[in-house]
Amino acid sequence: MCQIRGVLNQKSLPVITLEQGLECCAPLAREPLTAGGADELAPLFKAVADPMRLRLLSLIACHEGGETCVCDLLAAFDVTAPTVSYHLKILREAGLISSERRGTWVYYRINPGVMERMSAVLAPGAVI
């Protein structure tokens, strides 16, 4: 039995047949991540490793029009405005989001190229 299938208990992974007729799950990526690629991506994944930042990123990405005002983000959390601003700063410094001040409010949007790069690591069969 494939060790990966046994551990994950998933039946949806593609199965490959080896030369001796043994079955195993197909690899999740075509090539391993290079040292440079890992150095590039680690800060991005570190930035989204916090539950609040992951939720902020999700709220921004799902907002109609592709951007959202910080005032809308504040309403989604039971924390102070400086706390939300701190987490947004970390996402912005990592390059996951960008911001634009309009009057008294700041609007945030996802940086799609950075998100695509992160997604490529997680996509089965991706070339990294």
Question: What average pLDDT is seen over the chain?
Answer: 80
- pTM of the complete model beyond 0.95: no
Mean per-residue pLDDT for 95-100?
94
More confident residue, 68 or 15: 68
**Residue 122 banded pLDDT, cuts 50, 70, 90:** confident
Q: Which domains does the chain have, with CATH numbers?
A: 3-30 (no CATH), 35-119 (1.10.10.10)
Question: What pLDDT, on a 0 to 100 scale, did the predictor assign at position 25?
Answer: 59
Question: What pLDDT, on a 0 to 100 scale, did the predictor assign at position 9?
Answer: 46
Question: What pLDDT, on a 0 to 100 scale, did the predictor assign at position 96?
Answer: 94
Three-state helix/strand/coil letters over the chain: CCHHHHHHCCCCCCEEECCCCCEEECCCECCCCCHHHHHHHHHHHHHCCCHHHHHHHHHHHHCHHHEEEHHHHHCCCCCCHHHHHHHHHHHHHHCCEEEEEECCEEEEEECHHHHHHHHHHHCCCECC
**Residue 116 banded pLDDT, cuts 50, 70, 90:** confident
